[in-house]
Every structure is written in structure tokens, then in C-alpha cells.
Amino acid sequence: MTTTIAFLGEFGDAIQFIFQGQTTQEGTEVGGSQFLDLTWEHLKLTFAAMGVACAIAIPAGLWLGHIRRGSFLAISVSNVGRAVPSLALIALFVAYLGTGFTNVTLALVLLAIPPILTNTYVAVTQVEGDTVDAARGMGMTGAEIVRKVELPLALPLIFGGVRISAVNVIATATIAPLAGINTLGDPIINVSGYGDTGRLAAAMCVAALAIFTELALGAVQRAVTPAGLKLEPDTASRRMRLRFGREATT
């Protein structure tokens, strides 16, 4: 074990830093359990931002998709969202609203909304007209159609959007220390307290967190896919991908 770590050089030091930590010259403990605190803060920020973003974007997308209106809004919001650099967004919030948990969360919410909104909208509009007609013929009201027909059929694609947003938010929460919130980005931004090893260790943790989130949400996405849609995953996913590029991947 020790020889393997030595072989890894700086990466080995960083791994050791994550699990054992070290004491700085000022006598503060960094790495080890302190990384757990940073990770927790990172996750808290991510959950808060994703929660608010989902609460706004999913109902809005369902509604716009249901009434088949606002395609321009739903699609262009994601184009604009992509063009605004996350660093600039955080900086704008810091410059205008100041630092703090709420302000960073708000900035991350703005970042997270576009993919979810666009994917939800696209997913609902892609529910076949015949299916909706059949539901209406069975006597379902508009709200029932949304809840029992359009939402279940749209779920895989909605989760595709949530997945893109979540990974994005985790990546961007790394620069939250600029706004006074000590996430896993703290060793990266305020390198003086941690040294290069701490910074590399933090980068590894952020990368692992992003990959883990991607995999976990991918599993959730497969779990929520209605059995009927799994029959022809290839054609369905290909069709969606073709029309809307990156945003609409399942």
C-alpha cells in the first residue's frame, strides 16, 4: 500500500492528505476530517440550489410544454445560460448582492434552471399527440393529463436535465469560496492554507463528487423510465438527441 502511494508521487501525497490530513504551520488541521466538513458544505449548497431550481424549472417546463407555448423562451433560455460564464455569474452576485450562502445559492439556481427547463419543455412537447388525445378521450382533465400522462413520459428526459444541472452546480460550487462559502473549492482558491498537495486533493474530491453524481443520477434516470419507454430506447433517445443537441440527451 505505502509503495503504491509513493509510486503515485504528488497524487499519492494528495490521497494521503484526503484520508489523514496534516497540520499547518499555524497549527490548524487541514485535510482528513476537515475535508468532510468542506464536502458537506459543498453538498448543502448543491442540494439547496438544485432544490430551488427544480421547484421552479420543472413546473414551468411542464406548464409551457402542456399548453405548447413559449418554445422560443424555453429553448433560448438554455442558449443564453450556456453563454454566461459561471465565474462571471458568481462575480456579479458578489459585486451586487454581496457574499453569503443565499447569494451563492441564487447564482447557482440561475445556472441550474436552463437545462432543466429546456429538457422538461422538450420532453413534454415530444409526448405523442395521439397519447394525449387518448387521455382526453378517457375523460382526463388538463391537470390529470399533465400528472398521469405527460409527466411520467417526460421523466427520463427531465432527469437528463437535472443530471446536467447537478454536475454543473457541483463544478461551479467549487468557486463558491470567492463568495465566502467554504466548499471543497476552498483549498483550490485559498491555496495558502493548504499548499499544493491540499489543492490537488481538493481537485480529486471535486472530480470524484461530480462523477459520482453523474452515475447516481444516471441510475435514478433509468429507474424512473416507464417500462414502456424502455422497449425502444435507441430510437427514442436518438430522436431527442438529434433535434436538441446536448441539452436533450437521455
Residues lying near other proteins in the complex (CB under 8 A): 9-11, 79, 82-89, 91-92, 94-96, 167, 170-171, 174-175, 177-178, 180, 182, 185-186, 188-190, 192, 196, 199-200, 202-204, 206-207, 210-211, 214, 238, 241-242, 245-246, 249
Using alpha carbons only, how large is the chain's radius of gyration in Å? Answer: 21
How many residues are present in the chain? 250
Smallest separation, CB 121 to other proteins (Å): 17
Smallest separation, CB 244 to other proteins (Å): 10
Smallest separation, CB 145 to other proteins (Å): 31
E strands present in the chain: 22-23, 29-30
Give, in order, the Cα–Cα distances in Å from 189 to each of 2, 65, 68, 199, 219. Answer: 30, 41, 45, 8, 32
What burial letters (b/e) apply to 24-41, b meaning 16+ CB within 10 Å? eeeeeebbbebbeebbeb
Smallest separation, CB 196 to other proteins (Å): 8
Give, in order, the Cα–Cα distances in Å from 246 to each of 232, 235, 250. Answer: 20, 16, 10
Residues 6+ apart with CB under 8 A from 173: 42, 45, 46, 49, 104, 108, 183, 184, 185
Name which of 145 and 175 has its Cβ closer to other proteins. Answer: 175
Name which of 148 and 243 has its Cβ closer to other proteins. Answer: 243
Name which of 73 and 208 has its Cβ closer to other proteins. Answer: 208
Cα gap 120→115, rounded to integer Å: 8
Name which of 10 and 133 has its Cβ closer to other proteins. Answer: 10
Name which of 62 and 122 has its Cβ closer to other proteins. Answer: 122
Smallest separation, CB 39 to other proteins (Å): 14
Smallest separation, CB 181 to other proteins (Å): 9
Which set of grid coordinates corresponds to residue 30?
487541514
